Amino acid sequence: MTASPGAYAEIVVDLPVGQPLTYRVGDAEQEAQPGTCCVVPVGRREVMGICVGRSAEAAVADEKVRDVKRWLGDVAPLDAHWLAFTRFAADYYQHPWGQVAVPALPPLLRTPPGPRWASSLKRARNACAAEAGATPASAVVPEPNAEQRAAVDAISAREGFAPILLHGVTGSGKTEVYLTAIERLLAGDPQAQSLLLVPEIGLTPQLQARLHARFAKQTIVCLHSALPAAERSAAWLAAHEGRARIVLGTRLAVFASLPRLRLLVVDEEHDTSYKAGDGVRYSARDLAVKRAQLLGVPVVLGSATPALESWAQAMQGRYRLLCLPRRATEAAQPRVELIDQRLHKAASGLTEPLRVALEQTIARGEQALVFINRRGYAPVVACAACGWLSACPKCAVFAAFHKTDGALHCHHCGWRSRVPRACPTCGNQNLDAVGHGTQRLEETLAAALPGARILRIDRDSTRRRGAADAALAAVHAGETDVLLGTQMIAKGHDFQRVSLVGIVNADAQLVSHDFRAPERLFATVMQVAGRAGRSGLPSRVLVQTRYPEHPLFAALCRFDYEGFARSQLAEREAAGMPPFVPQALLTAQAKALEAALAFLGHARALGLGLSEPATLYDPVPMPLARLAGVFRAQMLVEAPRRSLLQAFLREWLARLHEADAPPGPRVHWQIEVDPQEI
């Protein structure tokens, strides 16, 4: 018997297979549409799949083709754009399509439906319906200034694909621009949807409140990984079914199904949280731009310190650059000043000028923020007698001392152990805690500022659910004089009474091996500085450093992002680094370093003979060469152009998959396109 046209369905599943799998459509002619979710047998299991097409012929012998077990016709098919977009992402990041598409589905659609499927689906649909219009709120919308109006006009006027880089210091009214542009869009098109990406959802309750106040009549949903499964499924469905007009989410939301998506916004587009750290190493920012291009709609990337990749695109005329040069309110920019640590000793982490400034701030009834990028009490414990240093037994790093539980902690693998009473090597009983983390600085501040109300916020102090929100609420309520913390306090918060920011340990990043470290330091300091003087108080940012002559600081003191970006890009161009040269990184993990390096050597040999020209560097141990007992090595790959790199990777990885691994211990490997850390 010959098969009728379209008798087979091509189905992608969350398994490491290169091509979609073929199944028989049978009598499900109507339901077997591209984009429809289904349950298929794979080996002895049943897994979820997505139909990506129909075909008249099977790639394998007809009798080997199995039937689709069940079509989930009660969920509308994913649209052609979504399929094309996830396919692009999979190809670009060199991953099987199904391993990008299926994990992008909500929990409800990731496992084969059980007996309660219909009621779960109904509950998910009702959950979001109930939320719409529940909170009647009103917002005082400020009259936009000239620059904001120009930005909104530019975003709204664009027909077709329009990548826009919105460069504005913190407080310049970028968020106001996003919201006004979204407002116009939703008012002008009763079905249009918008996607607003933020780096971290937990830290933006204020943005959520602002959205709800401004769009009281619209359904707004949040999508992020910390949501309980049922809520995430409900939010996803509301977006997929067009009920949600605004989706606010973290990087994973870039994959949301939004059939009427007309505007994408990536706030704080430079933030490294947009880059996924495991699985498919995608950049949600880059994918947002691609998605806008596929859809032919505008995408706005906003930042006070754009990623140099984005800035270069704007300089080359590929992104339209819009600037908000001033703070939107009366508030002036804080003054950035350096404290030369060669002149002012930072005993226990704090210099005298910073201490005095803190004291004066508190005396005026204002608040201060002290930023340090290390948690724990001290990064390492040392024996002065023999030179022993506390190290994690499983990683190639030092273990930090936490005074709160008297233990050594590895911040990379989570290993913990009581601090030894005496040096394990020589028996010396006087071990020293070396360097400063948040806990030690908290102690220092308490001693230096008697009576001050000091609050520490870091990952350790906010482990309990809701602890971070409670701490931040205390700051907003004025119950805190000095807020001390890590990166967590740098992002997004609109602290009204903060007039002093102290940056205690900027130098660690100046002397880093990573060529992106200066860019990150600049962004961090600008961001922390953005927390000061929001309500109009004259404010200062004090940076303690041993390298006050460093050009980065000169640019910082002038708030001169453009000058900084220009010099960094010139350096990168001269050195042949991203964004001028695209890169990929092949990493290998094994129980022995030699095995990881040998695998990369074998991969390198395979790559050297290929038709597409690429530069394959020598395999080297990763900067963190051992993590949780596993050795790690890497090899950098470069090509003159992105398309050439893509072509090379396709051919090379196909060979690598086919070739026999070199003999020896098992090696795990993965490829990362556009790596952010090398």
Which partner in ligand ADP, Zn ion, none is near 148 (CB below 5 to 8 A by kind)? ligand ADP
- The span from the CA of 175 to the CA of 324, in Å, is 11
383 near Zn ion (CB under 5 A): yes
Q: What is the DSSP letter of 350?
A: -
Q: Which is nearer to ligand ADP, 300 or 673 (CB)?
A: 300
For the CB of residue 226, give the shortest distance to Zn ion in the complex, in Å.
24
Stretch of 142-150, 414-422, 499-507, 565-573 lying at the interface with ligand ADP (CB under 6 A): 142-150
User: Per CB under 6 A, does 148 bind ligand ADP?
Assistant: yes
Mask for 4-23, x = binds ligand ADP (CB under 6 A):
--------------------
Residues 323-342 that bind ligand ADP (CB under 6 A): 328-329
Residue number, 493 or 626, with CB nearest to Zn ion: 626
- Of the candidates 138, 246, 140, 147, the residue with the CA atom closest to the CA atom of residue 192: 246
Residue 678 CA to residue 636 CA, distance in Å, equals 8
Residues 6+ apart with CB under 8 A from 418: 406, 407, 408
- From candidates 415, 515, 547, 617, binder to Zn ion by CB under 5 A: 415
Query: Which is nearer to ligand ADP, 168 or 619 (by Cβ)?
Result: 168
Which of 55, 120, 145, 567 contacts ligand ADP by CB under 6 A? Answer: 145
Tell whether residue 344 is a contact of Zn ion (CB under 5 A): no
Tokens of 604: 């390198």
Residue 172 interacting with ligand ADP (CB under 6 A): yes
Do 419 and 431 touch, CB atoms closer than 8 A?
Answer: yes
Residue 630 is a binding residue for Zn ion (CB under 5 A): no
Contact status, residue 614 vs residue 651, Cβ threshold 8 Å = no
Secondary structure percentages of the chain, helix, strand, coil, to 5: 35, 25, 45
* Strand ordering across the sheet containing 400-402: 400-402, 407-409, 416-418
Quick one: 375 or 534, whose CB is closer to Zn ion?
A: 375
Structure tokens at 95: 């991953």
Query: Under the criterion CB under 6 A, does residue 142 sit at the interface with ligand ADP?
Result: yes
Choose the one of ligand ADP, Zn ion, none that binds residue 81, judging by a C-beta under 5 to 8 angstroms depending on kind: none
Candidate residues 120, 156, 428, 615; the one interacting with Zn ion per rule CB under 5 A: 428
Nearer to ligand ADP, 560 or 612 (CB): 560
Q: Does residue number 170 form part of the binding site for ligand ADP (CB under 6 A)?
A: yes
Side chain identity, residue 401: F
Judged by CB under 5 A, which stretch of 298-306, 346-354, 380-388, 496-504 contacts Zn ion? Answer: 380-388
Q: Which two tokens stand for residue 552?
A: 């980065």
410 lines the binding site for Zn ion (CB under 5 A): yes
- CA 396 to CA 399: how far, in whole Å? 10
- Contact between 306 and ligand ADP by CB under 6 A: the answer reads no
Q: How far is CA 321 from CA 3, 6, 48, 168, 311, in A?
A: 55, 48, 43, 11, 9
- Residue 55 or 329: which CB sits closer to ligand ADP? 329
Q: How far is the CB of 471 from Zn ion (least distance, A)?
A: 27
C-alpha–C-alpha distance, residues 235 and 219, integer Å: 10
**Among the listed residues 10, 14, 31, 176, the single contact to ligand ADP using CB under 6 A:** 176
Establish if 417 lies at the interface with Zn ion (CB under 5 A). Answer: no
Cβ nearer to Zn ion, comparing 433 with 489: 433
Asked if residue 236 lies in contact with residue 287, where contact means CB atoms within 8 angstroms, the answer is no
- Binding residue for Zn ion (CB under 5 A) from 130, 137, 209, 386? 386
Q: How many residues bind ligand ADP (CB under 6 A)?
A: 15
Q: In whole angstroms, how close is the CB of 180 to ligand ADP at the nearest point?
A: 9
Binding of residue 204 to ligand ADP (CB under 6 A)? no
Element (H, E) at 436: none
> Applying CB under 6 A, which of residues 173, 298, 379, 485 lies at the interface with ligand ADP?
173
Q: Which two tokens stand for residue 298?
A: 């505008």
Inter-residue contact 46 to 40 (CB < 8 Å): yes
Nearer residue to ligand ADP within complex by CB, 168 or 376: 168
Compute CA 182 distance to the chain's CA centroid, rounded to the nearest angstrom: 23
Q: Can you count the helices (H) and strands (E) in the chain?
A: 18, 29
User: Which of ligand ADP, Zn ion, none is residue 485 near (CB under 5 to 8 Å by kind)?
Assistant: none
Pick one of 31, 131, 155, 174: the residue that binds ligand ADP (CB under 6 A).
174
Question: Binding of Zn ion at residue 117 (CB under 5 A)?
Answer: no
Burial class (CB within 10 angstroms; exposed 0-12, middle 13-18, buried 19+) of 146: exposed
Structural Rg of the chain based on CA atoms: 27
Could you tell me the smallest distance in angstroms from the CB atom of residue 424 to Zn ion? Answer: 8
* Element (DSSP H or E) covering residue 165: strand 162-168
Please identify which residue in 101, 413, 490, 588 interacts with Zn ion, judged by CB under 5 A: 413
Q: Which does 145 bind (CB under 5 to 8 A by kind): Zn ion, ligand ADP, none?
A: ligand ADP
**Residue 565 interacts with ligand ADP (CB under 6 A)?**
no
Contact stretch for ligand ADP (CB under 6 A) within 16-24, 140-148, 273-281, 521-529 = 140-148
How far apart (Å, rounded) are the C-alpha atoms in residues 16 and 102? 12
Q: Does 208 bind ligand ADP (CB under 6 A)?
A: no
- For residue 106, whether the previous peptide bond is cis, meaning omega lies within 30 degrees of 0, is no
227's CB contacts (< 8 A; 6+ apart) are: 235
Nearer Cβ to ligand ADP, position 176 or 183? 176
Q: Which is nearer to ligand ADP, 300 or 423 (CB)?
A: 300
Structure token digits, residue 528: 């922390």
What is the rounded distance in angstroms from the CA atom of residue 148 to the CA atom of residue 145? 5
130, amino acid identity: A
Question: CB under 8 Å to 325, separation ≥6 — which residues?
Answer: 147, 168, 169, 172
| By the rule CB under 5 A, 423 interacts with Zn ion | yes
Give residues 467-486 in contact with ligand ADP (rule: CB under 6 A). none
Kindly list the residues in this chain that would bind ligand ADP in the complex (CB under 6 A): 142-145, 148, 168, 170-176, 328-329
Kindly list the residues in this chain that would bind Zn ion in the complex (CB under 5 A): 383, 385-386, 388, 392, 394-395, 410, 412-413, 415, 423, 425-426, 428
